[in-house]
Amino acid sequence: MFISQAHAAAEGAPQGGGMQLFIMLALFAVIFYFMIYRPQSKRVKEHKNLMASMKKGDEVLTNGGLVGKITKIAEDNDFIVIALNNNSEVTIKRDFVTAVLPKGTIQSL
């Protein structure tokens, strides 16, 4: 009794179009590209340019909040040495630099 009614209801169900699904997936792909992938790749490109432009004597800010002046840069590896003050130097990975600060920033602190 119930089986025949369920079978009859399933036959009358409308078929979903494959084109609508394709359009929906394409729309999600476009949204993903413009909202997530493109801004992230732009930030990565800016950070690589920042890493390439660093030189000895630049004042930098690290991810950990340290502010110092670059004293040594090795081209063969990814580490730099920054002087926090006259007595202490820290060796950090080049990728940990967040920003290159304007000249005289350390003196103003």
Strand runs (DSSP E) across 1-109, as ranges? 59-62, 67-73, 79-83, 89-93, 97-101
Contact criterion met (CB below 8 Å) for 70 and 106: no
* pTM: predicted TM-score of the whole model, two decimal places: 0.66
- pLDDT tier, 29 (very low <50, low <70, confident <90, very high otherwise): very high
Q: Which candidate, 46, 50, 43, 92, places its Cα nearest to that of 69?
A: 92
Can you name the residues that pair with 68 across neighbouring β-strands?
60
Q: What is the pLDDT of residues 43-87, one digit of tens each?
A: 999 999 998 889 999 999 999 999 999 999 988 888 999 999 989
